[in-house]
């Protein structure tokens, strides 16, 4: 199968490496000099150092070549940008009439509060097979070939089968779902909760506090997912509980690192400089806070995280506000 991966960050590169086990893969990035360096060094030294690129992985900065490479009926176009980059990338792809398109990003579009599949429908319509490939996964571990389980969510059974055929190999397991809303909401909101657990860990509040935040955070994910017509059972799976556990506890989590830095009193500007880019949970927190208010959904942890990120509330005050809430019956 011919596959083009658009976006040569850490996750796009890791997925491209994994895909080469069974497919003819091209990895595209917009920075021509960076792609030339990757081609000669056979390594993405900027975003995924220490992981050699397979010799059969093609590298290119030619966008048209990348789209043409994956233009057949059984070919696959994989968009590995952030949520903020999804719309412009899809618009650029539109003129080439792609057949099968999936994305790897997790979040809500900041200005519109749209999920990725809603953005794709706006731009590509219903005549293109589209879907989201998400799940608990760190780029570094996928690049090493360590065990991993992902979910492909799409309304197209054929696309799900295509993705399973391309990726279900060696240590990687791929499961399919038709619940795009549930899969995308779980993948998005868990990033916000990882910031919250990072704050708690950074303040030395212990494992009990982390467990409480994760559990009550899952309730927030479920409330939002169901309100947007997702399935509650989806959020008990890989892209709900699974992704939540990994991102809130794993030391490789960029969103957890944001929370740890906030606990140290660092500003968001300094955190972004140190990370090199914005973690998805930062942008997502603002969008989800706005959406939850519009829908009348109670999401106190999300609101607290957004308050620290955007309203000047300290990390200590965030925790105090959450602890001072009135006791309620435990319900999802």
* pLDDT, tens only, 72-84: 999 999 999 999 9
Mean per-residue pLDDT, 61-80: 97
In this model, does residue 192 exceed pLDDT 80?
Answer: yes
In this model, does residue 331 exceed pLDDT 70?
Answer: no
Residue 71's pLDDT is what? 92
C-beta separation of 238 from 149 below 8 A? yes
Tens of pLDDT, residues 6-25 = 999 999 999 999 999 999 99
Tens of pLDDT, residues 286-319 = 999 999 999 999 999 999 999 999 999 999 998 8
Residue 56's pLDDT is what? 96
Token pair of 321 as six digits: 């506000």
pLDDT class of 69 with cuts at 50, 70, 90? very high
Mean per-residue pLDDT, 27-48: 96
How many angstroms separate the first and last alpha carbons of the chain?
43
In this model, does residue 211 exceed pLDDT 60?
Answer: yes
Tens of pLDDT, residues 233-260 = 999 999 999 999 999 999 999 999 999 9
pLDDT class of 327 with cuts at 50, 70, 90? low
Burial 10-45 (b: 16+ CB within 10 A, else e): bbbbbbbbbbbeebbbbbbbeeeebbeebeeeeebe
pLDDT class of 320 with cuts at 50, 70, 90? confident
pLDDT class of 276 with cuts at 50, 70, 90? confident
Q: Name the residue with higher pLDDT: 266 or 321.
A: 266
Residue 319's pLDDT is what? 87
Residue 287's pLDDT is what? 95
Among candidate residues 190, 231, 257, 266, the one labeled active-site is 190
Tens of pLDDT, residues 137-190 = 999 999 999 999 999 999 999 999 999 999 988 799 999 999 999 999 999 999
pLDDT class of 326 with cuts at 50, 70, 90? low
Is 231 marked active-site? no
In this model, does residue 223 exceed pLDDT 60?
Answer: yes
CA distances from 268 to 46, 199, 222 (A): 22, 13, 28
Token pair of 41 as six digits: 């060094």
Tens of pLDDT, residues 100-124 = 999 999 999 999 999 999 999 999 9
Token pair of 259 as six digits: 């929370």
Q: Which domains does the chain have, with CATH numbers?
A: 2-178 (3.40.50.720), 181-323 (1.10.1040.10)
Give the separation between CA 183 and CA 198, rounded to whole angstroms: 23
Mean pLDDT, the chain, rounded, equals: 94
In this model, does residue 323 exceed pLDDT 90?
Answer: no
């Amino acid at each position: 199968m011919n596959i083009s991966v658009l976006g040569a960050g850490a996750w796009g590169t890791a997925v491209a490496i994994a895909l080469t086990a069974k497919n003819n893969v091209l990895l595209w990035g917009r920075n021509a000099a960076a792609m030339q360096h990757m081609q000669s060094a056979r390594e993405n030294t900027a975003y995924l150092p220490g992981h050699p690129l397979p010799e059969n992985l093609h590298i290119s900065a030619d966008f048209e070549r990348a789209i043409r490479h994956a233009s057949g009926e059984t070919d696959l176009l994989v968009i590995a940008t952030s949520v903020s980059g999804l719309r412009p990338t899809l618009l650029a792809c539109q003129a080439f009439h792609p057949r099968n398109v999936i994305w790897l990003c997790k979040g809500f579009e900041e200005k519109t509060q749209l999920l990725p599949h809603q953005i794709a429908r706006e731009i590509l319509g219903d005549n293109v097979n589209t879907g989201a490939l998400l799940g608990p996964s760190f780029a570094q571990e996928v690049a090493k070939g360590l065990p991993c389980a992902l979910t492909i969510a799409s309304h197209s059974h054929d696309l799900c089968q295509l993705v399973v055929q391309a990726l279900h190999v060696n240590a990687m397991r791929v499961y399919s779902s038709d619940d795009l809303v549930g899969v995308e909401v779980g993948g998005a909101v868990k990033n916000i909760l990882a910031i919250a657990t990072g704050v708690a860990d950074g303040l030395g509040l212990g494992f009990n506090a982390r467990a409480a935040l994760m559990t009550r955070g899952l309730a927030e994910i479920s409330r939002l997912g169901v309100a947007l017509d997702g399935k509650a059972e989806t959020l008990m799976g890989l892209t709900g509980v699974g992704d939540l556990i990994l991102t809130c506890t794993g030391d490789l989590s960029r969103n957890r690192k944001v929370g740890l830095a906030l606990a140290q009193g660092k500003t968001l500007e300094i955190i972004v400089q140190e990370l090199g880019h914005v973690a998805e949970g930062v942008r997502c927190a603002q969008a989800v806070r706005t959406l939850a208010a519009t829908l009348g959904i109670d999401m106190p942890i999300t609101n607290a995280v957004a308050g620290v990120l955007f309203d000047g509330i300290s990390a200590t005050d965030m925790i105090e506000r959450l602890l001072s809430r009135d006791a309620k019956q435990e319900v999802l």
